[in-house]
């Protein structure tokens, strides 16, 4: 497999032509699928990871349903398990900090849109200097997961359509067009926002996502994206 695949345009692009970049979190900016690692702490990783994998490959088309199924398996997991995942397992993928820093230096606004959880997105967003964040809020009662999510002002579950809406909404807020947006992801639920953006980027992604992306980074770090822009 070629380590960097470009289709649908001829580099170099100008970074100044872009004003906003939206990122998925799990397996894109960070090295893990948080829900699988929480499940591991509960001894249910195989069961939950199988659903995650099928959803990311696009084999389960209803992301909301797949998330609810996985969450139900986590009922009763203590908050300490989330803290353990954050402190011991979560690491940034190679090039994540460098790419975000370069985009910010070029004046782009950064958006974190995740089907994952606020417990982790708060940390990731703060570390990378994200301007906007949307993700799911785990319901916690008596220091344990209930297996449900908390309803937020925009809705309950951040799925592919919500990621797309958030990208377009943030772009409109800063007066940018969709063509001035970059979207970066790895799973099937990233395809709606990638399809709406002027530049779509797949990072170590599932086959279906690689095929549709304008840039597919199949080896190396996220900062390889910078090579498609003029110096």
Residues classed as catalytic: 24, 26
Burial profile 29-67: b = 16 or more Cβ within 10 angstroms, e = fewer: bbbbbbbbbbbbbbebbeebbebbeebbebebeebbebb
What pairs with residue 152 in β-bridges? Answer: 155
Edge to edge, the sheet with strand 181-185 lists 4-6, 215-217, 199-203, 181-185, 20-23, 109-117, 132-136
SS3 106: coil
Question: And the tokens for 211?
Answer: 């095929």
d(CA 121, CA 30): 10
SS3 213: coil
Residue the block writes with tokens 């084999």? 59
CA terminus-to-terminus distance, the chain: 26
Q: HSE of 229 in the Cβ direction (CA atoms, 13 Å)? A: 16
């Amino acid at each position: 497999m070629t380590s960097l695949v470009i289709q649908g345009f001829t580099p170099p692009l100008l970074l100044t032509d872009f004003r906003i970049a939206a990122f998925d979190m799990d397996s894109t900016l960070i090295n893990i699928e948080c829900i699988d690692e929480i499940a591991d702490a509960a001894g249910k990783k195989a069961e939950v990871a199988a659903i995650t994998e099928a959803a990311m490959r696009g084999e389960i088309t209803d992301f909301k349903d797949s998330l609810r199924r996985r969450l139900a398996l986590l009922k009763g997991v203590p908050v300490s398990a989330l803290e353990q995942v954050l402190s011991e397992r979560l690491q940034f993928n190679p090039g994540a900090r460098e790419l975000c820093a370069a985009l910010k230096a070029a004046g782009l606004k950064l958006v974190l849109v995740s089907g994952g959880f606020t417990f982790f997105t708060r940390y990731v967003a703060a570390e990378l200097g994200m301007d906007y964040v949307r993700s799911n809020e785990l319901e916690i009662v008596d220091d344990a997961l209930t297996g449900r999510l908390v309803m937020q002002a925009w809705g309950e579950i951040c799925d592919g359509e919500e990621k797309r809406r958030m990208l377009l909404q943030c772009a409109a807020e800063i007066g940018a067009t969709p063509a001035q947006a970059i979207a970066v992801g790895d799973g099937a639920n990233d395809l709606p926002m990638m399809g709406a953006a002027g530049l779509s980027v797949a990072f170590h992604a599932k086959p279906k996502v690689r095929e549709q992306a304008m840039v597919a980074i199949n080896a190396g770090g996220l900062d390889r994206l910078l090579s498609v822009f003029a110096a």
